[in-house]
């Protein structure tokens, strides 16, 4: 009897030991940033659905329906981004000047590394569009297109950086994906789950392509015609301010860009004027954000003034004749 109780005691100690040991790993998991990243992605999916609907009740209803469907993964976001870029380039042709595009990529890819999402499936890529319109598009996964008309509004490297970081902000905020209508999301979700368990099935591919086509149309329509919500534009502006400040550019370059655009945009024009909030409104909250950053302790060192002439020289060499 005594022996039996000892065995039980030993067993109890072992179980406690096992629980303690496995408990450590559970703790590690619960607090791992990876888990946090996952949660953010989940919330993003909810916002995606919510953004397409105004009504809170409808939002909740759709959220429940789409819950089993996870957020679009980076590989799929990449194919969405490629398709959006290809579709936009059907309307606004590429400007193939190597000097211009090399500079946009050196500057843009450097800035992207200072964003909150430096890694996308295939990285960030920048291309100029041969259009006089004042316009830029940040397609999912980091395919960023900027018109010659918009680049002409800039007079320095930091102003071009302001344009690019605003578009990077649309990518890191996954704003393109948020433009996809909730109904397509539900439909695509069901198809994605089905395609995961089946081999190559032409029926599913056909339906998936239809859902894909509709999703791309939603994004392109939002980017070119209707514009993102004020909230998303604000998010992109604030992301831009943060990136500019982190690497040492003056974030007020964004304000200067908006002031120039304000004078150049034609009311009723089909470009930025149509798809973006009034520059004056944006300048107000951008100024406030900059003041907040400056008051904070985490202010980065400003760019060395002695290198200003080098920045201006490389900017002029690449974009002087844009």
Partner 1 sequence: MPASRKRLLTLLFLAAAAAAFAVDPAQMSVKVKEAQLRTSPSYFTGKIAAMLAYTDRVTVIEKQKDWARVSFPAKKAEGWIHLSALQDKAIVLTSGSETVAKQASSGEVQLAGKGFSKEVESKYKQDNKLDYTWVDKMEAFKVTPEQIVGFFTQGGLSPEGGAK
Which residues, numbered 133-172, are part of the site for partner 1 (CB under 8 A)?
143, 157
Give me the residues paired with residue 125 across strands.
Answer: 143
- CB-based contact 276:258 (threshold 8 Å): no
Toward partner 1, which CB reaches closer, 37 or 288?
A: 37
Give me the residues paired with residue 146 across strands.
Answer: 128, 136
- Does 92 engage in binding with partner 1 (CB under 8 A)? no
Q: How far is the CB of 109 from partner 1 (least distance, A)?
A: 5
- Does 29 engage in binding with partner 1 (CB under 8 A)? yes
Q: Which of 2, 200, 203, 321 binds partner 1 (CB under 8 A)?
A: 200
Q: What is the 3-state secondary structure (H, E, C) of 40-86?
A: HHHHHHHHHHHHCCCCHHHHHHHHHHHCCCCCCCHHHHHHHHHHHHH
Q: Which of 54, 296, 306, 321 binds partner 1 (CB under 8 A)?
A: 306
State the CB neighbour count (10 A cutoff) for residue 244.
26
- Does 75 engage in binding with partner 1 (CB under 8 A)? yes
Q: Which of 8, 55, 119, 278 binds partner 1 (CB under 8 A)?
A: 119
Residues 258-297 touching partner 1, rule: CB under 8 A, are: none
With contacts defined by CB under 8 A, name the span among 49-57, 199-207, 253-261, 262-270 that binds partner 1. Answer: 199-207
Residues 49-68 touching partner 1, rule: CB under 8 A, are: 68
Token pair 């559970």 is at which residue? 26
Q: Exposure string (b/e) for 143-152, b if CB count within 10 Å is 16 or more? A: bbbbbbbbbe
- Does 33 engage in binding with partner 1 (CB under 8 A)? yes
């Amino acid at each position: 009897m005594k022996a039996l109780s000892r065995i039980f005691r030993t067993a109890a100690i072992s179980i406690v030991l096992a629980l303690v040991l496995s408990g450590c790993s559970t703790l590690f998991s619960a607090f791992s940033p990876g888990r946090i990243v996952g949660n953010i992605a989940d919330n993003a999916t909810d916002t995606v659905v919510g953004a397409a609907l105004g009504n809170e009740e409808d939002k909740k209803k759709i959220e429940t329906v789409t819950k089993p469907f996870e957020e679009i993964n980076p590989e799929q976001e990449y194919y969405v981004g490629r398709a959006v870029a290809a579709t936009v380039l059907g309307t606004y042709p590429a400007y193939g000047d190597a000097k211009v595009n090399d500079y946009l990529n050196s500057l843009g890819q450097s800035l992207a590394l200072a964003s909150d999402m430096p890694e996308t499936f295939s990285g960030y890529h920048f291309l100029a569009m041969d259009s006089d319109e004042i316009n830029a598009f940040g397609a999912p996964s980091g395919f960023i297109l900027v018109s010659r008309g918009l680049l002409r509004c800039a007079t320095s490297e930091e102003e071009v950086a302001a344009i690019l970081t605003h578009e990077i902000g649309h990518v890191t905020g996954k704003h393109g994906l948020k433009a996809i209508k909730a109904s397509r999301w539900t439909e695509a979700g069901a198809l994605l789950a089905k395609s995961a368990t089946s081999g190559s099935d032409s029926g599913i591919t056909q339906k998936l392509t239809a859902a894909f086509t509709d999703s791309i149309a939603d994004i392109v329509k939002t980017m070119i015609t209707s514009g993102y919500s004020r909230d998303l534009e604000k998010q992109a502006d604030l992301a831009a301010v943060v990136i500019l400040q982190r690497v040492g550019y003056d974030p007020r370059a964004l304000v200067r860009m908006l002031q120039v655009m304000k004078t150049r945009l034609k009311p009723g024009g089909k470009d930025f004027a149509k798809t973006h909030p009034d520059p004056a409104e944006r300048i107000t909250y951008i100024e406030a954000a900059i003041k907040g950053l400056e008051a904070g302790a985490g202010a980065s060192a400003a760019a060395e003034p002695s290198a200003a002439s080098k920045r201006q020289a490389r900017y002029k060499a690449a974009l002087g004749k844009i």
